[in-house]
Chain A
Amino acid sequence: MRAALPVIAALFWILPRPAAAGALPEDQVKAAFIFNFLLFTNWPGRHAESREPLNLCIAGQDEIAEALHDLDGRRLGPSTVLVSTLKDAHEADACEALYLADSERDQWPQWLSATATRLALTVTDGGEALGGRGGVLEVAVESDRVVFSVDLHSARQRRLSFSSRILSLARPVEAR
């Protein structure tokens, strides 16, 4: 009776709903979006009913990374999201998602190439990680809304697939 996918739109609001405690800082909204995006992502060999934790890894530091740490241990679907910080790309094997923070910006190409054939969904805040550079998901804020792009070519290399519904909301990726 019941519910379906009610508030995808709400994911993109800076002020999520009137009922919320108030406006969230931009970085927290981006973090919430990244967190929720995991529910629209399918990893090969991982079933929707799996209660195994989802590993959301972080390389480097910035405000979004801090907000993601606050989501450590939260429930998402049937499983729990575990947030951890990586020192080295070789540790990325167990990551379902990898957030590349601003402090590592110079190292992004290394991180992306080192994980290019892994299953990790890489996420960056703006910057230039898509369009042949190996990144998968990029988030930004425009006119008080989270906008995002998905590089389907990189995603296919990493054998990731997504809900068509979330893809219909993504912005096109420009070839660079």
Chain B
Amino acid sequence: MLAALLSLPAGASHEPPANPAETDIEKLLELEVYTASRFPQPRAQAPSTLTVITADEIRLFGFRTLDEILRSVPGVHISSDRIYEYIGIRGIRRPQDFNSAVLLLVDGQRLNDGIYDTASIGNDFPVDVELIERVEFVRGPGSSVYGSNALLGTINVITRDPRKLQGHALNLETGDAGYRRALARSSFGVGGDSALMLAASYGNRDGGSLHLPAFDDPSTNNGRVDGRDGDRWRRLMASAQSGDWRLHLVHSERNKEVPVPIYGSDFNDRHGIYSDTQGFANLSYDTEIDSDWSLRARIFHAHYAFDGDLNYSGVLNRDKARTARAGLEAQVQYRGWHHHRLIAGYEGGEDYRQEQLNFDVDPYFVYLDRRDQIHPRGLFFQDEWQAHPRLTVTAGLRFDQREEVEDVTSPRLALVMRPVDGHTLKLLYGEAFRAPSRYERYYSAAGYSPNPDIEPEHTRNWDLLWEAFPTPTFRMQLGLQHFDIRGFIVERVEPETGNLQYQNSKGVHSNSVDLDLEKFWPNQVQTRLSLSLQEATRRDSGLEMLDSPNLLAKLYAIAPLPRTQARLALEVLGQSERRSLGRQAQPYVIANLTLSGLQLRPGLSLNASVYNIGDVGYEDPVSSDLADQGIDTLEQLGREFRVGLDWAF
């Protein structure tokens, strides 16, 4: 994003943005990124289309959730069914899935759970935005280093290094729709090279009301759903660093009221609630053995639980999922061979608990009770070869094995050229896969047939990227992408039984163009404009995919507030119409404005945002789980204010 902010020191969130004199974008982009190759490397050299969003951008633009952070990335759009948030990349989003085609990592720790392969990006994401150092977002395949799920993209949320944080902080926020949030954070230095950070937060949103035109009848409250949109979450994080060792604990619980009659559950259901609990514990060791060798290793445990209560004709039905996974990762890097950087890694885990349950509470009746165990594992290699001072060649390969799916090999080849100074050209080819989730394979409550024969979906992806600096204060980037997904998994009716079933379709292909322009102006004004043209088409029907905008436009601007250290930041988001299962979702433009860093007294600063300034009514397409109830698009949030106090001591 706005590259100037990349230069800010970590832990600066309570300071006004430093380094105002820096206006040379290219210099600022000499930041090291981790996600593209699983080791730190200069951003320009990364064999990927990679975007970094920093802590300062998060604060400046008033991003409250991971999905708000992600939607700033070119070619990304976010949709919501007022329960969860869903990410579309280059026009590809699958209704009825929980972002399973995107790999979500926290400091390299996989977050996609073992049943649905969910990437939680809304309030169910377990890390508070204030604890994020930066978000690295790779658009395109990542299976050559990460294995399954890294089909459309890889998101790696890098949290704050406890050694770089000082003292204590308290953030308090309030806003419209009963929004309240509090975060407390404490950091302790223990000796010279050790530190501990503890953080806890609580958030609440009463939510608003909702109008569902399909239920516009006196018997169903004229389609109005009032007071059923509440959202509540709690999060804990502990992070300790000592020398080469890091211990990391994350846990979160989120309860969302279900305001829509999803799956044909009762309209205006008083008890409809979805609850997601997740977290992990890991211990990592990361060391330079000598000038040629380095080693990175980690052991982890991760857990996830879902509880969904929905009423059907007044009978409470409960859907439950429980997963737990333990495993280890290790990788070595060797730089002793002239002009080469070689890495080899192993990743293996045991999903020792995978439970799916569905039952009526009273009268008690069990529809589904399934327990499984699997242990996915992968082995990967990569060589980064400096073939010429102006050419880097990266070749990578990963083998993945797991039960019930054939072994998969995912290659990658990348050429990164700097034909003349100030220009970078990247040609990228990659293959990636996603193994069907346990939910897609085995969910079988009434109305669903399991499909044990379902196969992984595979993608082949081409990227051509050109980045140029016509002047030191002007950056432009042009990207062309082609995606080809084979065996794309869709929900279909099994004709013999009339049940829904997840099946492999012929696939999807997508073409897109991104243009990203960034300019630093005098007086610390910065702007970025990104335009994405994209099309994503189903191979079987020849139809455009659902919820696939052909045009995305994003404008970001930052300006100082005169005579203060505060800044104003404007975000404008626009997208063209999108197909739904019924009517089209209409095009829209919304704008958000944030004031941040207004110092009230030393250590105490104020920030405030107004989201959807124009109170624009807009809708997102939703899946057939709602379309079957006559709801094809769903209204989204109108104008909302938020104000926050940051106290550092």
Interface residues of A, Cβ cutoff 8 Å to B? 1-11, 13, 16-17, 19-21, 24, 28-29, 32-33, 35-36, 39-40, 42, 47-49, 67, 70-71, 74-78, 161-165, 168
Q: Is the CB of B116 within 8 A of A1?
A: yes
10 further A-B contacts with Cβ under 8 Å, apart from A20-B495, A32-B496, A76-B444, are A1-B308, A4-B317, A5-B312, A6-B625, A10-B447, A32-B497, A48-B366, A71-B497, A75-B452, A77-B367
Q: Is the CB of B447 within 8 A of A8?
A: yes
Find the A residue at minimum CB distance from B444: A77
Instruction: Please list 16 pairs of residues, one from A and one from B, whose beta carbons are closer than 8 Å in the complex, sorted by A's number.
Output: A2-B306, A2-B319, A3-B263, A5-B367, A6-B628, A7-B264, A13-B498, A20-B493, A20-B495, A29-B498, A49-B370, A71-B497, A78-B370, A165-B312, A165-B317, A168-B313
Chain A residues with CB under 8 A of B500: 6-7
Q: Is the CB of A28 within 8 A of B308?
A: no
Q: Is the CB of A6 within 8 A of B495?
A: no
**B368 an interface residue at 8 Å Cβ cutoff?**
yes
Find the A residue at minimum CB distance from B492: A19
Q: How far is the CB of B128 from chain A (nearest CB, A)?
A: 22
What is the CA–CA distance of A4 and B445 in the complex, to the nearest angstrom? Answer: 7
Known A-B contacts A19-B493, A35-B497; A6 and B448 likewise in contact (beta carbons under 8 Å): yes
Interface centre among B265, B313, B315, B498 (most CB of A within 10 A): B498
What is the CA–CA distance of A169 and B173 in the complex, to the nearest angstrom? Answer: 49
Q: Is the CB of A78 within 8 A of B315?
A: no
Chain B residues with CB under 8 A of A47: 366, 369
Q: Is the CB of B264 within 8 A of A5?
A: yes
Q: Is the CB of B312 within 8 A of A78?
A: no
Which residue of B83, B319, B492, B493 is within 8 Å of A3 (Cβ)? B319
Interface centre among A2, A42, A165 (most CB of B within 10 A): A2
Chain B residues with CB under 8 A of A29: 498
Q: How far is the CB of A42 from chain B (nearest CB, A)?
A: 7
Q: How far is the CB of A52 from chain B (nearest CB, A)?
A: 13
**B409 an interface residue at 8 Å Cβ cutoff?**
no
Chain A residues with CB under 8 A of B319: 2-4
Find the A residue at minimum CB distance from B274: A1
Which residue of A21, A36, A42, A75 is within 8 Å of B495 (Cβ)? A21
**B24 an interface residue at 8 Å Cβ cutoff?**
no
Find the A residue at minimum CB distance from B495: A21
What is the CA–CA distance of A42 and B497 in the complex, to the nearest angstrom? Answer: 20
Chain A residues with CB under 8 A of B367: 5, 39-40, 48, 77, 163
Q: Is the interface of A mostly helix, strand, loop or mixed?
A: loop
Known A-B contacts A2-B439, A20-B495; A74 and B449 likewise in contact (beta carbons under 8 Å): yes
Find the A residue at minimum CB distance from B319: A4
Interface residues of B, Cβ cutoff 8 Å to A? 83-84, 98, 116, 118, 263-265, 274, 276, 306, 308, 310, 312-313, 315, 317, 319, 321, 358-360, 363, 365-371, 439, 442-452, 492-493, 495-500, 625, 628
Known A-B contacts A11-B498, A75-B449, A165-B313; A6 and B264 likewise in contact (beta carbons under 8 Å): yes
Q: Is the CB of A6 within 8 A of B263?
A: yes
Q: How far is the CB of B104 from chain A (nearest CB, A)?
A: 15
Find the B residue at minimum CB distance from A164: B363
What is the CA–CA distance of A49 and B495 in the complex, to the nearest angstrom? Answer: 25
Interface centre among A29, A39, A162 (most CB of B within 10 A): A39
Chain A residues with CB under 8 A of B98: 1-2
Q: Is the CB of A78 within 8 A of B492?
A: no
Known A-B contacts A39-B446, A77-B368, A165-B360; A4 and B310 likewise in contact (beta carbons under 8 Å): yes
What is the CA–CA distance of A74 and B496 in the complex, to the nearest angstrom? Answer: 10
Q: Is the CB of A49 within 8 A of B628?
A: no
Known A-B contacts A9-B264, A42-B365; A70 and B313 likewise in contact (beta carbons under 8 Å): no
Q: How far is the CB of A13 from chain B (nearest CB, A)?
A: 8
Find the A residue at minimum CB distance from B447: A7
Q: How far is the CB of B440 from chain A (nearest CB, A)?
A: 11
Chain A residues with CB under 8 A of B116: 1-2
What is the CA–CA distance of A30 and B365 in the complex, to the nearest angstrom? Answer: 23
Interface centre among A6, A10, A17, A162 (most CB of B within 10 A): A6
What is the CA–CA distance of A70 and B494 in the complex, to the nearest angstrom? Answer: 13
Q: Is the CB of B371 within 8 A of A49?
A: yes
Chain B residues with CB under 8 A of A70: 496
Chain A residues with CB under 8 A of B625: 3, 6
Which residue of A67, A75, A164 is within 8 Å of B360 (Cβ)? A164
What is the CA–CA distance of A20 and B499 in the complex, to the nearest angstrom? Answer: 10
Chain A residues with CB under 8 A of B118: 1
Chain B residues with CB under 8 A of A165: 312-313, 315, 317, 360, 365, 446
Q: Is the CB of B365 within 8 A of A75?
A: no
Chain A residues with CB under 8 A of B365: 40, 42, 161-165
Interface centre among A3, A8, A77, A165 (most CB of B within 10 A): A3
Q: Is the CB of A4 within 8 A of B263?
A: yes
Find the A residue at minimum CB distance from B451: A75
Chain A residues with CB under 8 A of B446: 5, 7-8, 11, 36, 39-40, 163, 165
Chain A residues with CB under 8 A of B84: 1
Chain A residues with CB under 8 A of B360: 163-165
Find the B residue at minimum CB distance from A19: B493
**Which 8 A-B pairs give the minimum distances between C-beta atoms?**
A48-B366, A7-B447, A49-B369, A6-B263, A48-B369, A163-B365, A16-B498, A20-B493
Which residue of B368, B369, B450, B496 is within 8 Å of A71 (Cβ)? B496
